Amino acid sequence: AGSAMAAVRDVEIDPEGTFKYILVRLQRPGGGEQRDIVRGTKAAEFHNHIFEKVNPEMEKLGYECKCLGGGKIEHNSKDKKIRVFGLSTGYGKADHSVTVEILKKEYTDYEITWSDDKK
- What's the distance, CA 10 to chain centroid? 8
20 is in an annotated binding site: yes
Catalytic residue among 47, 49, 75, 96: 47
The DSSP element (H or E) to which 57 belongs, if any, is: helix 47-60
Instruction: Give the number of residues written for the chain.
Output: 119
**HSE-CB of 56 using CA atoms within 13 angstroms:** 5
Residue 47 known to be catalytic: yes
- Known binding-site residues equal 20
- Known binding-site residues for substrate equal 20
Any idea which residues carry the catalytic annotation? Answer: 47
